[in-house]
Amino acid sequence: MSIEAHDWLDHLRDIRRLSDATIRSYRRDLAAWSAFLAEYKLSEEEAGQSEARSFMARMSSRHMASATVNRRLSALKGYYEWRRRRIPGTENPFIGSRTVKKGRRLPGFLTHEEIETFLDYTGEGFTGLRDRVLFELLYSTGCRVGEICSLDASDVVRRQVRVRGKGDKERMVFVGTKAAEALEEYLPHRLKHSADDSDSRRALILDLRGERLTTRGVYYLIRRYAALTGMAKKVTPHTFRHSFATHVMDEGADIRTVQELLGHSSMSTTQIYTHTSIERIKQVYRLSHPHARRTVNSGGNDA
């Protein structure tokens, strides 16, 4: 990658305050573009729209996920716009490229019973209490895994949690009774277990070494518990987030509220959860519409 590409990534990290995961993804996107240009012995300055179209066509021919293609396009457009502002005469070869249409993929989620099964497998002692708090917070708040791992103990005040989301935006989320009880039992163990450095003493969720639990550590724990419970479906930290959104919408929460709780900047991102309310809507219709209700004399079927 060029010096300018490294400078842009530094800008995104230090000024835009994008997450480490986003920076890593953009670094891979830039590296893929650099490798493509190297095949044709072209520099970033020499690349034009024909090369950009060929690059997009190659990704499509390799059947890359539409979300990955669109993120890569967004990264490269953003990078060249940044270059254009810094270097006079620079053109953006991706300016005419269009995003790939995404297929509608419904997110997987756990039922209430499956959530309880996960929690039932947590044991006693520090690790058991830690795991229970972790799962309760993921499900009770709907937070992203990175948001949970970045929580400090001071971010939890009674039943409210201050969360730092994407773009370093803060929002308040809430914990339920079970999550609050788990936290109350866990916090004394956390104090005894934390390592002797400032970040560990601040961190809410700790690993076995007493240091802040990483997102990779959370993935490992969830895979282990999924295996222990014999759960057939794939379970990730995001599954808990999907389960949170699914269940609160099934209970009647409006989409604007769910958008705020999840920290979505766009309503369209939240709308994917509306599919989960279909059965509830059917039930309301059957109970409320005169021609939808079964009558004693009609013997007809439900609408």
238 labelled catalytic: yes
166 labelled catalytic: yes
Catalytic residue among 72, 130, 132, 144: 144
Catalytic residue among 11, 28, 53, 166: 166
Phi-psi region of 41 (alpha: psi -120 to 50; beta: other; left: phi over 0): left
CA angle, 38 as apex, 35 and 43 as ends, to 5°?
Answer: 110
Within 13 Å of residue 183, how many CA atoms lie on the same side as its CB? 24
The alpha carbon torsion through 144, 66, 17, 187 (nearest 10 deg) reads 10
Catalytic residue among 80, 139, 225, 273: 273
Catalytic residue among 27, 71, 162, 264: 264
Distance (Å, whole) CA 292 – CA 289? 5
220 labelled catalytic: no
132 labelled catalytic: no
Crossing angle between the packed helical segments 215-229 and 112-120, to the nearest 10 degrees = 100
Distance of CA 230 to the CA centre of its chain: 25
CA angle, 64 as apex, 63 and 66 as ends, to 5°?
Answer: 110
Catalytic residue among 171, 189, 238, 293: 238
26 labelled catalytic: no
Is residue 166 within 8 Å of residue 263, measured between CB atoms? Answer: yes
101 labelled catalytic: no
Catalytic residue among 132, 241, 242, 247: 241
Catalytically annotated residues: 144, 166, 238, 241, 264, 273
